[in-house]
Structure 1
């Protein structure tokens, strides 16, 4: 059982593109503890379970038993908030690219926003 939960913890971490150290910092444990959980050597404490589910918007049933979807559906507003929070709080390569994207958006003037809007409409980007 610990091994299967550990595999799911590793899947969450890799999906988020963060190291064991970064993952541990986000839920309040050391890198070595994350490694032991992922390898099935240590059980996932109730506090760690709650922290993981809350921090990463994970379905507890999926984490414990592999049932249902990994992530709990969120509103578009919450997804946007999480995107910005992750981009600003992480030092992964992905977060660095996201910060570049955000900085580019911030620097757009009114005419450039209009061009971007036309581009999105032309390529039928979902507008939620």
Structure 2
């Protein structure tokens, strides 16, 4: 299956979207999607990224058809932030511990960090 065929398969068999619905979510016309699926237009890196981001699709699956179609979603918002900012386990634990503090202790730590790192 080609990347173009995978896009059509994704749209029709997995997501059950029309050309128009799929294109609208990506900010392009149904004609643009039709042309990509038919191989009349190449899949640009920007469009590939948009498809993966919008529908949580694995870039590896989209490009070569290997692995799971969908990316594993983070279990929590903290997991998502840790992934987005490439936090180490220690950094993630620090953020998690900070968020579990009561407001008074958060304020104490925030004031300390502010005085240590920010020029006011």
Distance in 2, matches of 1:4 and 1:37, equals 11
Q: Which residue of 1 aligns with 2:99?
A: none
Moved over 2 A (4+): 75-78
Query: Residues of 1 paired with 2:23 and 2:36: CA distance?
Result: 11
Structure 1 Cα separation of the partners of residues 35 and 70 of structure 2: 23
CA 1:19–1:76 in 2, change beyond 3 Å: closer, same or farther? farther
In structure 2, distance between residues paired with 1:13 and 1:4 = 14
CA offset digits 1:32-67 (Å, max 9, x no partner): 110011111111111111100000000001101111
Larger Rg: 2
Deviation at 1:76, TM superposition (A): 5.8
The count of aligned residue pairs is 76
What's 1:10 paired with? Answer: 8
Tell me the TM-score normalized by structure 1. 0.55
1:116-127 aligned within 5 A: none
Deviation at 1:75, TM superposition (A): 4.0
> What's the TM-score, normalizing by structure 2?
0.58
Q: What is the root-mean-square deviation of aligned Cα atoms in Å?
A: 1.7
